[in-house]
Amino acid sequence: MVAVRDEAVGEAADGSVAGAAVGISGRGSVGDIVFRGFAVAAAALILVALAAVFIFLGIEGIPGFDVDEQHYAGQGSFLGLVVPLLFATMYAAVLALIIAVPFSVAIALFISHYAPRRIAVPVAYVIDLLAAVPSVVFGLWGAVALGPYLVPAHGWLAENLAWLPFFDGQPSGNGRTLFTAAIVLAVMILPIITSICREVFAQTPRLHEEAALALGATRWEMVRYAVFPYARSGMVSAVMLGLGRALGETMAIAMIASPKVVVSLFVIGTQNPQTIAAHIAQGYKESTPDRLSVLIATGLVLFAFTFLVNALARWIVARGRAK
């Protein structure tokens, strides 16, 4: 028994012990080696695949950093192209977060603390359903249904809130703007943030909550002083993961917002700042190798950027756990 346990637990630490244990069992050692080989090969393949992603994107993309001016969509240089794109990517994602986070936290609270159990379970299911809808369907809905519906709202914003830089200008007549796209993007990232927040809220120790209530706290005070402090790092990482998703999301923006490579805060006009992913999707048909290199290079920048955001999210989670 002890030997077997050693094999199960300590194998990776010391290969020779593992070999001995397999030897004791006699039959099946060939099968063991082959099966183990497959498992290790599959795991190693993931390593290789990720390395390949970097290598092939690098080979095809790095020439795109410096090609003839005409391939940079009228921006002159790679930096001139990628800085506005990166700005727009961040901008759209942050707008979506501003809309999505309050709703996500409220819905997560609704499921974990406010709704009666009978309602909470189906509600959680409905929110998960939202996550299953393909992004292209969201894009179609945003472009054909939500956008036209929001045209009066665009007009109202331009008329009454024009002192804000976001709404200062001629509003779009068909609603295909970054404003609409950000709302759709918010609906798309809402299920992710909600489901993580919900789990974190549900993990609040029951005793903390009951102690708060026993001291005479109202339900909101219980949430504020017992649940939120406990869930803070989880909430932050949920928001970061939502941000990571929003940064890489392509179709909603490519299908809804009519684009222009531009740094601008104006969100309700006909020329909306274009994100990296939408820029790639809308330029994919162009067949000149140089232009494709430029697109792949912008893709590399996007990858590096989302990687940083996700790494930050993981770091926050790890720090929260260590406490």
Partner 1 sequence: MTDIDLSAQETELSHATLPRGAQWLVAIAAAALGGLSLVLGAGIVGAVAVGGLAFVLGYPLWALLVENRRSATDKLVTGLVWTAFGVAVIPLIWLIYMVVARGTAAISPEFLTYSMRSVTGDEQGGLYHALMGTLIVTGIAALISIPIGIMTAIYLIEYGKGSRLAKAITFLVDVMTGIPSIVAGLFAFALFTLVVGPGTRFGFGGGVALSLLMIPTVVRSTEEMLKLVPDDLREAAYALGVPKWRTITKMVLPTAVGGIVTGVVLSISRVIGETAPLLVASGFNPNMNTNALEDSPMMTVPVFIYTQLSEATAKGVEYAWGGALVLFVLVMALNLIARIVGTIFAPKTGR
Site for partner 1 in 108-137 (CB under 8 A): 109-110, 114-115, 123, 126-127, 129-130, 132-137
In whole angstroms, what is the distance from residue 95 CA to residue 185 CA?
Answer: 9
Tell me: does residue 230 bind partner 1 (CB under 8 A).
no
State how far the Cα of 213 lies from the Cα of 202, in Å rounded to an integer: 16
List 192, 239, 310, 316, residue binding partner 1 (CB under 8 A):
310
Q: Does 40 bind partner 1 (CB under 8 A)?
A: yes
Q: Which residues pair with 156 in a beta bridge?
A: none
Nearer to partner 1, 123 or 169 (CB): 123
Stretch that binds partner 1, among 52-60, 156-164, 195-203, 263-271 (CB under 8 A): 52-60
**Contacts with partner 1 in 245-284 (CB under 8 A)?**
247-251, 254-255, 277, 280-281, 284
Under the binding rule (CB under 8 A), the answer on residue 2 touching partner 1 is no
Please identify which residue in 163, 287, 321, 323 interacts with partner 1, judged by CB under 8 A. 287
Residues of span 152-171 touching partner 1 by CB under 8 A? none
For residues 168 and 258, which CB has a smaller minimum distance to partner 1 in the complex? Answer: 258
Question: Which of 65, 80, 83, 140 is the binder for partner 1 (CB under 8 A)?
Answer: 140
Q: Which is nearer to partner 1, 20 or 45 (CB)?
A: 45
Compare residues 222 and 266 and give the one whose CB is closer to partner 1: 222
